[in-house]
């Protein structure tokens, strides 16, 4: 089980902020939330991760609710090159191996 | 920076044949993993390694073997290929976990006929 729930697909206009939600209601206190994306059939690309605090890097921002049961990945100014499948992942074992769901297909429209 | 290099990029095998998918990283990463991805699905973990000489099974290990004799290399062996092993295979590595996440290779597309 992936332990995360994401919408199957989303659209966003180019230049606007893309907000991708993820539910992880059974997350444990020591489990991180990771976001990756996969453009076409390339290898997945790491975006960002967090435990309980909001995080920001050059690619995106991660907002985690106070109860940690859900999170949102924000791409502040989406471009056509951000069209990809976005995966929200919660690590589940002590060896930090990732369990992947089907992800959200994000389509950026001109 | 080569990152994670996978070879070959494409391969067609006949049922029952064996082969080795190669994975090499030049980032001195301790953690390495092999995943498979079937159409429309997320990745599933086959085997992983937390350092040279240490390997363990993931979610779908049957039909695959791995070894980790060096930090740099983590080959995946298909013992007797079956059509169910037709998939895209990704190798990934990471210096530390949870750290900065995994770096993935570009994948090997395997078809078993």
Does the CB of B39 have a partner CB in chain A at under 8 Å?
no
What is the C-alpha to C-alpha distance for residues A38 and A20, in angstroms, rounded to an integer? 14
Classify residue B75 by its DSSP letter. -
Distance in Å from the first CA to the final CA of chain A:
35
Residue with tokens 């074992």: A93
Report yes or no: A36 and B101 within 8 Å, Cβ to Cβ: yes
Angle at B56 between CA B98 and CA B53, to 5 degrees: 90
For residue A2, the chain B residues in CB contact (below 8 A) are: 42
pLDDT over 90, % of chain A: 72
B4 Cβ under 8 Å from any chain A Cβ: yes
Is the pLDDT at A100 greater than 90? The verdict is no
The predicted pLDDT at position B100 comes to 63
CB contact under 8 A, B102 and A41: no
- Interface size, chain A vs chain B, as Cβ–Cβ contacts under 8 Å: 58
The pLDDT of B17-25, averaged and rounded, is 97
**Interchain CB distance below 8 Å, A95 and B56:** yes
pLDDT for B72 equals: 97
Check CB contact under 8 Å for B101 and A49: yes
Residue A30 predicted with pLDDT over 90: no
Report the percentage of chain B scoring pLDDT > 90.
Answer: 81
Instruction: Give the pLDDT confidence score for residue B14 in this predicted structure.
Output: 97
Residue B83: helix, strand or coil by DSSP?
Answer: helix
**Tens digit of pLDDT for each residue in A35-79?**
999 998 899 999 999 998 899 999 999 999 999 999 999 999 999
Separation CA B76–CA B89 (nearest Å): 10
Beta strands in chain B (DSSP E): 4-7, 10-13, 19-25, 31-37, 43-51, 54-57, 64-66, 76-78, 87-94, 103-104, 108-112
Residue A27: pLDDT above 90?
no
Write the pLDDT tens digit of every residue in B71-101.
Answer: 999 999 999 999 999 999 999 999 876 556 8
- Report, as an integer, the average pLDDT of A83-103: 81
Residue A30 neighbours by CB under 8 Å, 6+ apart:
A51
Q: Which DSSP letter does residue A44 get?
A: P
Check CB contact under 8 Å for A95 and B106: no
- pLDDT recorded at residue A97: 74
Q: Which of B101, B105, B106, B108 should we substitute to test contact with A (largest number of A Cβ atoms within 10 Å)?
A: B101
- pLDDT, mean of residues A75-103: 85
pLDDT on residue B1: 61
Which one of A96, A101, A102 makes the best mutation probe of the B interface by having the most chain B beta carbons within 10 Å? A96
């Amino acid at each position: 089980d992936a332990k995360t729930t994401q919408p199957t697909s989303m659209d966003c206009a180019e230049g606007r902020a893309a907000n991708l939600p993820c539910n992880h209601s059974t997350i444990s206190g020591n489990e991180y939330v990771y976001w990756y994306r996969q453009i076409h059939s390339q290898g997945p690309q790491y975006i960002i991760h967090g435990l309980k605090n909001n995080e920001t890097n050059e690619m995106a921002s991660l907002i985690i609710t106070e109860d940690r049961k859900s999170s949102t990945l924000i791409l502040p100014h989406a471009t056509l090159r951000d069209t990809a499948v976005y995966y929200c992942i919660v690590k589940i074992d002590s060896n930090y191996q990732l369990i992947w769901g089907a992800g959200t297909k994000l389509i950026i429209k001109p | 920076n080569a990152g994670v290099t996978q070879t070959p990029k494409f391969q067609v095998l006949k049922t029952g044949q064996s082969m080795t998918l190669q994975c090499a990283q030049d980032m001195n990463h301790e953690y390495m993993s092999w995943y498979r991805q079937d159409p429309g699905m997320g990745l599933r973990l086959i085997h992983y390694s937390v350092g040279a000489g240490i390997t363990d099974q993931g979610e779908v290990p049957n039909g695959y073997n791995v070894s980790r004799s060096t930090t740099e290399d983590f080959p995946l062996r298909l013992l007797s290929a079956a059509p169910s092993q037709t998939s895209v295979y990704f190798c990934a590595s990471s210096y530390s976990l949870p750290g900065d996440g995994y770096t993935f290779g570009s994948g090997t597309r395997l078809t078993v006929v």
